[in-house]
Structure 1
Amino acid sequence: MNKKTALFTIIMVIAGMLVACEADFTTEKKSEMVVEGWIDEGGYPVVILTKSLTISDKYQRIDSLAQYLIRWAKVSVSDGERKVVLTGKYDSRFFPPYIYTTGNMRGVAGKTYTLDIEYKDWHATATTTIPETHPIKNIRLEQCAESDTMFQVKLDIDTEKAHNAYYQLFTCEGTNNRLFVASYLGSIDGAALKKNKEITVYRSHRLATGKKYIPFFCLNDTLAIKLAHIDNVSYNFWSDYSRNLTMADNLFMAPTHNIRGNVNGATGYWCGMGADVKYVVIKKDKE
């Protein structure tokens, strides 16, 4: 399995962490459990658990986030016929590098999956259904104007099939990770797609890097593109997440809108995906 949608930045974004402009001091607020979980058609369930950074008037170091990982929770997934307990393990190809997963259950389109989490005084549950996978028909590279090294990536899907569907685009860069991250402006309401219109895939908007955001991809990049067919509840989550990234100039500012998660008893998401993944190396056309 090489499909990853979790975003560690969500810990701070959803928690609404406020960092003062002149100092590393905050006002008191209770920590919450943050859930990032998904199951793809044909894939295994993956769950990442963290605690939100506590809002406190005491000085906090934010350069080491390992203490916010939840490593000893009881996590299980049920498909209505059987219930499987997930195993927690270290995996450096994810970030944070600790996941709960199992090889004893694969996602099946049309089935409903219930997530159950117990950790200390926290108990969280969520339910999701996996839609059928809608394949990517074609991927096209287009060199950006005034640049020899930057490229736009565009893809085609069946717009007639997409009319009543919702999608989220994810990208994974490099060859030795499973970090699928939500593409910038990658939440798509299929009803708004025009017939035969290409969809542009943008690089993830990672405000935490401190670097100038560039939405395009570089020459020789190795890229995996994931088109996830999702239900409307998951679409609400990802569109809210994308909107907050678009409107926020700084990762450490509170989001401008509440993000509509689907986890009861915690913050976050549990998302079933009919996912098609395609791989591409950014190259110039042969002259």
Structure 2
Amino acid sequence: MMNYWRNVFYIVVVLLTYSCKKEEKPAVYKPRFVLEGWIEKDDYPYVIVTHNLPFFTAIDSAQLAEVIIRYAKVTVSDGVETEVLTGTTDKRYFPYFLYRGYSLKGKTGGNYKLKVEYAGNTLEAETSIPKRTPLDSIWFVSKPKNTMQLNVRFKDAAEDKNYYRLYTKLEREKSFIPTLLANQNDQYFNGKELRLQVNRGPESNLTSKHDPYFIKGDTVMVKFSGIPQTGFEFWNSFQDEVLNGSNPLVGSTKALKTNIKGPGVGIWCGYASTVYRVIAK
């Protein structure tokens, strides 16, 4: 999946920036947890738990290490099986510490409850995994300087309310990155075919410098995910904050639409994903 730490870090920044926008003086720092968890069809649950920082904190490697919550009790249940996730290191992500399952796997139509307990605090959330929707076709269009733009096409299922999220990465890279305008709601194309010209998203939300195209000959992995409504609402509000943050004339107008209950912010989301391997040609 995507580089989750970049998203978690930006959630912290967005949360604290939003709390300060409407006051002449910075708001008093309120400790809150920042949570990002996911469960994919045919895969185990993963959860990253951190806490926020005061807005003007100087951030270095030592400070980043301290935001990681290492001793929480993280439980996921599908209504039949309940598993306490195991804290472990995983160098595919930064920070490198997360909680993961080893027995409970995601299934289409499954509902999954998350509970995080730490230092007398409890955070809870619930998500589901929708049906998969396949991409019908993937192709590239030539752009200047030997670059190629990705295009995709799929048919939305008329009988369901659907939400989608799209990612790409080069085959050699570890993490999927959301494309620009990665989130789709079938409100305006229910039951119809949708064609998208896809621009790559930046590797970091802290920079605006990126190339929206691939190089001719690149081996590209495309990930297309169905997500529940709560996942769409969170990622869409997150996307709005990223776009607004790059525009000095537009400020934050509303909080992230988190589905976390308790003293925290973030997302617990189910994904019905399909991954495609294509050559940019």
The TM tier, using the shorter chain, reads 0.7 to 0.9
Native 8 Å contact 1:8 1:95 kept in 2: no
Native 8 Å contact 2:202 2:209 kept in 1: no
The one-letter code matched in structure 1 to 2:180 is: Y
The aligned counterpart of 2:193 is: 196
Native 8 Å contact 1:155 1:198 kept in 2: yes
TM-score, normalised to structure 1's length?
0.83
Secondary structure class of the residue paired with 1:48: strand
The aligned counterpart of 2:150 is: 153
The aligned counterpart of 1:76 is: 75
| Residues 1:229 and 2:229 are matched in the alignment | no
Native 8 Å contact 2:147 2:213 kept in 1: yes
Relative distance call for 1:175 and 1:14 in structure 2 (3 A) is same
Shift of 1:97: 1.9
The one-letter code matched in structure 2 to 1:104 is: S
Secondary structure class of the residue paired with 1:244: helix
The aligned counterpart of 2:121 is: 122
Unaligned residue ranges in structure 2 (runs of 5+): none
The one-letter code matched in structure 2 to 1:185 is: L
Relative distance call for 1:150 and 1:135 in structure 2 (3 A) is same
Native 8 Å contact 2:205 2:242 kept in 1: no
Shift of 1:156: 1.5
CA separation in 1, counterparts of 2:8 and 2:279?
26
The one-letter code matched in structure 2 to 1:112 is: N
Native 8 Å contact 1:11 1:51 kept in 2: no
Between Structure 1 and Structure 2, how many residues are aligned?
Answer: 270
**Deviations 1:217-248 (Å, cap 9, x if unpaired)?**
33444432221111212111111111111121
Secondary structure class of the residue paired with 1:157: strand
Native 8 Å contact 1:184 1:203 kept in 2: yes
**Does 113-122 or 161-170 show the bigger shift?**
161-170
The aligned counterpart of 2:211 is: 214
TM-score, normalised to structure 2's length?
0.85
CA separation in 1, counterparts of 2:226 and 2:159?
9
Unaligned residue ranges in structure 1 (runs of 5+): none
Shift of 1:111: 1.2
Secondary structure class of the residue paired with 1:38: strand
Shift of 1:141: 1.2
CA separation in 2, counterparts of 1:226 and 1:241?
19
**Deviations 1:139-191 (Å, cap 9, x if unpaired)?**
111122xx2232211111123458731111123345252x2333220110123
The aligned counterpart of 1:36 is: 36
Native 8 Å contact 1:36 1:49 kept in 2: yes
After superposition, the CA RMSD in angstroms is: 2.8
Native 8 Å contact 1:75 1:115 kept in 2: yes
CA separation in 2, counterparts of 1:28 and 1:221?
48
